[in-house]
A and B are shown apart, each in its own frame.
Chain A
Amino acid sequence: MDNVIEIKDLSIQYATDEGIVKAVNHLNLQLARGETLGLVGETGAGKTTTALGIMGLIPDPPGVITGGEILFEGTDLLKLSKQRLRAIRGNKISMIFQDPMTSLNPVVTVGDQIAESIRIHEKLSRAEAALKAKDMLELVGIPGDRYGEYPHQFSGGMKQRVIIAIALSCNPEVILADEPTTALDVTIQAQVLDLISKLKKEKNTSMILITHDLGVVVEICDKVAIMYAGEIVEYGSLEQIYDQTAHPYTKGLFGSIPDIEAKTSRLKPIPGLMPDPSNLPEGCSFEPRCERSCQLCKEENPPLIEIGNGHFVKCHNYGKVGEGEDV
């Protein structure tokens, strides 16, 4: 399988008044064609920053990409001219943004906002683009005659659909969906997710789905990457992550979601907080919260190692004595 997106050793920082926020640190990630990768991590882990990095939309200042490569079909996006990057953005790679309330321009009609992205990448007349934008609206389940309405006339769920329509309007090869459902209530969430996976299957698009909802991951992802303090701590297929969980943080994540079948077991949240990204510990960033931390963990940041066919984990203690007992 060929990789549409391959991120190598990517580091992104924000320079703020309080210091340098290391949002993404030496991140490696692959996305194969047609595949859905779930990028999971708690708030502040650097998920959005990673996606914005791929789009070339890190706000600068304060953000800087300090190193690494982002290969899209073999070419490094970080080395492309602004103009060539614009030809890819919204056309080959598009992003569904996290917050539907603020991601649409309040003074432009929703139809025009969809038609705009079509007209940037396809040589269509205004009328043809408008027609196609209407089709896109209907595709995401909004009547086409609402083309001329403004975002404030739409509900949150409908705005999210409009954002999805914008992202899908040019049949992208890669979709970066940044928590496309967190702003929505549960029933709408399911609808939107169904919609995204349906559209994705029809067009064989690859997708990175950013979420902190493991339930969503199970439903639609092929691969899962667990992100913690700007690093990938575990990466593998859905089965590997769920059945052969290797990293203590991932285990903690599963422990902190309620399980309907095992009603007796109490919710077990991970104690402590994620370290401040402007002041990361020297060793493993999860060490302060880890049950199995050792001296080596304090001193040295573990590398990401492959422990099985495409299953990676970033932990000194993997495979050491005692591993078996808490699986």
Chain B
Amino acid sequence: MIRYIGKRLLMMVPVLLGVIVIVFTIMYLTPGDPARMMLGAGAPASAVEELRETLGLNDSYFVQLLRYIKNVVFRFDLGQSYASNKPVINEILERFPKTILLATLSVTISVIVGISMGIISATKQYSIFDKIATSIALLGVSMPTFWAGLMAVIIFSVHLRWLPASGSYGWEYWILPSLTLGLSSSATIMRMTRSSLLEVIRQDYIRTARAKGQNERVVIIYHALKNAMIPVITVIGMRFGALLGGSVLIESVFAISGLGKFIIDSISMRDNPVVQGGVLLLALSFSICNLLVDILYGFLDPRIKSQYSISRKRGWRRNAQAQ
């Protein structure tokens, strides 16, 4: 297991390098001059040229790329923001906690709501509850999150005046954004739980459990749910990974200064080091989420867990043959 994790971590390196190269290339090819953006349209051409020289923007593509990779790999240095002149790493870490908080809160909400609704809906298939729940879920999947967020603000902040509309100055500021985000992704989780559970409930081993005289609640929670969770966990993991990159729209609607909004703003300002650093962090958190999900599979399903150690056994066999 530990070897498996180590191998997976090692496999992340080429992925992250690839991400660096791709993002760097895209930003390099995008029209627009960062120096010009920083100095403003009215600045003299000589000043712009001078700034380009100091930022190293006049070097060739390969020189710039290699310099960037060298700094990231050997010095963990993501460079400095063009806009603020502060280290990119500090700028990102300043905003990351808010993004993590929002992601954690909303994923927790969506897991609790989505899984429990999915269970009820699957066990009472075709009942009124199931029909209502699946319709709401369909609505939830097709409703744009930012629109739901705006509606929530209009209802709960403007009309009812229960909760603040924007900012992030205390716990009450987190309620609306995390509920909006959480409930909207609970729809996907609910649908996934429902269909996966319906599939599992038809299996022979569920019949075996019932044949023992086990009551229905235990059959579902103990026997069916663990088997049904694998696809659901995949969805949850991807959702969490994506939210760690920041939820641009919700952060904008609720004026939360998180990572998503920061990266988008930096793109429009051609703040290349920030964009590159941000995307790298996003790729990293996504890969880690993926790994965590795969490890979790192993805990849910002993068959998968035994596969994790197979590569090691094969290795043994190969060694034995070599000798």
Mutual binders A and B: yes
Question: Which A residues form the contact surface with B (CB < 8 A)?
Answer: 55, 57, 59, 86-91, 94-95, 97, 99, 102-108, 113, 116-117, 120-121, 150, 152-153, 163, 166
B127 at the A interface (CB under 8 A)? no
Task: Give Cα distance in the complex from A325 to B195, angstroms.
Answer: 60
Task: Give Cα distance in the complex from A102 to B202, angstroms.
Answer: 11
Interface residue count on the B side (C-beta < 8 Å): 22
- If A103-B205, A107-B226 touch, does A89 touch B302 (CB 8 Å cutoff)? no
Instruction: Indicate with 1 or 0, residue by residue over B289-312, a CB within 8 angstroms of chain A CB atoms.
Output: 000000000001111001000000
Q: Which residue of A lies closest to B301 (CB)?
A: A107
Q: Which of A99, A105, A108 has the most B CB atoms < 10 Å from its CB?
A: A105
Instruction: Indicate with 1 or 0, residue by residue over B215-234, a CB within 8 angstroms of chain A CB atoms.
Output: 10000001100110000000
Stretch of B25-33, B45-53, B135-143, B206-214 contacting A (4+ beta carbons < 8 Å)? B206-214
Once the chains bind, are A106 and B210 in contact (CB under 8 Å)?
Answer: no
Q: Which residue of A lies closest to B216 (CB)?
A: A82
Task: Give Cα distance in the complex from A59 to B206, angstroms.
Answer: 11
Once the chains bind, are A150 and B205 in contact (CB under 8 Å)?
Answer: no
Instruction: Tell me which residues across on chain B come within 8 A of A153, comparing CB atoms.
Output: 306
Question: Which B residues form the contact surface with A (CB < 8 A)?
Answer: 202-205, 207-215, 222-223, 226-227, 300-303, 306
- If A106-B227, A107-B226, A108-B223 touch, does A152 touch B212 (CB 8 Å cutoff)? no
Tell me the dominant secondary structure on chain B's binding face: helix
Task: Give Cα distance in the complex from A152 to B205, angstroms.
Answer: 13
Task: Give Cα distance in the complex from A108 to B301, angstroms.
Answer: 9
Instruction: Tell me which residues across on chain A come within 8 A of B226, comparing CB atoms.
Output: 107-108
Once the chains bind, are A106 and B205 in contact (CB under 8 Å)?
Answer: yes
Instruction: Tell me which residues across on chain B come within 8 A of A121, comparing CB atoms.
Output: 213
- If A97-B204, A99-B204, A106-B205 touch, does A90 touch B223 (CB 8 Å cutoff)? no
Q: From B213, B227, B300, give the contact of A105 (CB < 8 A).
A: B227
Once the chains bind, are A97 and B208 in contact (CB under 8 Å)?
Answer: yes
A-B contact pairs, 20 of them (CB 8 A): A55-B211, A87-B213, A88-B213, A89-B210, A89-B212, A97-B207, A97-B211, A102-B204, A102-B205, A103-B207, A105-B208, A105-B209, A106-B301, A107-B226, A108-B222, A108-B223, A120-B213, A150-B302, A163-B208, A166-B212
Task: Give Cα distance in the complex from A108 to B224, angstroms.
Answer: 11
Once the chains bind, are A120 and B205 in contact (CB under 8 Å)?
Answer: no
Instruction: Tell me which residues across on chain B come within 8 A of A105, comparing CB atoms.
Output: 205, 208-209, 223, 227
Task: Give Cα distance in the complex from A97 to B208, angstroms.
Answer: 8
Q: Which residue of B lies closest to A88 (CB)?
A: B213
Once the chains bind, are B203 and A107 in contact (CB under 8 Å)?
Answer: no
Q: Which residue of B lies closest to A52 (CB)?
A: B207
Once the chains bind, are B227 and A89 in contact (CB under 8 Å)?
Answer: no
Once the chains bind, are A90 and B204 in contact (CB under 8 Å)?
Answer: no
Instruction: Tell me which residues across on chain B come within 8 A of A117, comparing CB atoms.
Output: 212-214
Tell me how far the C-beta of A172 lies from the nearest C-beta in chain B, rounded to whole angstroms.
Answer: 11
Please report the number of residue pairs spanning A and B whose Cβ atoms sit closer than 8 angstroms. 75
Instruction: Tell me which residues across on chain B come within 8 A of A113, comparing CB atoms.
Output: 208
Once the chains bind, are B208 and A120 in contact (CB under 8 Å)?
Answer: no
Instruction: Tell me which residues across on chain B come within 8 A of A59, comparing CB atoms.
Output: 202, 207
Instruction: Tell me which residues across on chain B come within 8 A of A107, comparing CB atoms.
Output: 226-227, 300-302
Task: Give Cα distance in the complex from A97 to B212, angstroms.
Answer: 12
Task: Give Cα distance in the complex from A105 to B203, angstroms.
Answer: 9
Q: Which of B203, B207, B212, B300 has the most A CB atoms < 10 Å from its CB?
A: B212
Once the chains bind, are B227 and A166 in contact (CB under 8 Å)?
Answer: no
Q: Which residue of A lies closest to B215 (CB)?
A: A86
Task: Give Cα distance in the complex from A142 to B213, angstroms.
Answer: 24
Q: Which of B210, B213, B300 has the most A CB atoms < 10 Å from its CB?
A: B213
- If A59-B202, A97-B204, A97-B207 touch, does A106 touch B213 (CB 8 Å cutoff)? no
Pairs A-B, 5 closest by C-beta atoms: A90-B213, A117-B212, A90-B212, A89-B213, A102-B204
Q: From B202, B211, B223, B300, give the contact of A89 (CB < 8 A).
A: B211
Could you list 16 further interchain pairs (A-B, Cβ under 8 angstroms) beyond the known A106-B227, A152-B306?
A55-B211, A59-B202, A89-B211, A94-B212, A95-B211, A99-B204, A104-B208, A105-B205, A105-B227, A106-B205, A117-B213, A120-B212, A121-B213, A150-B303, A153-B306, A166-B208
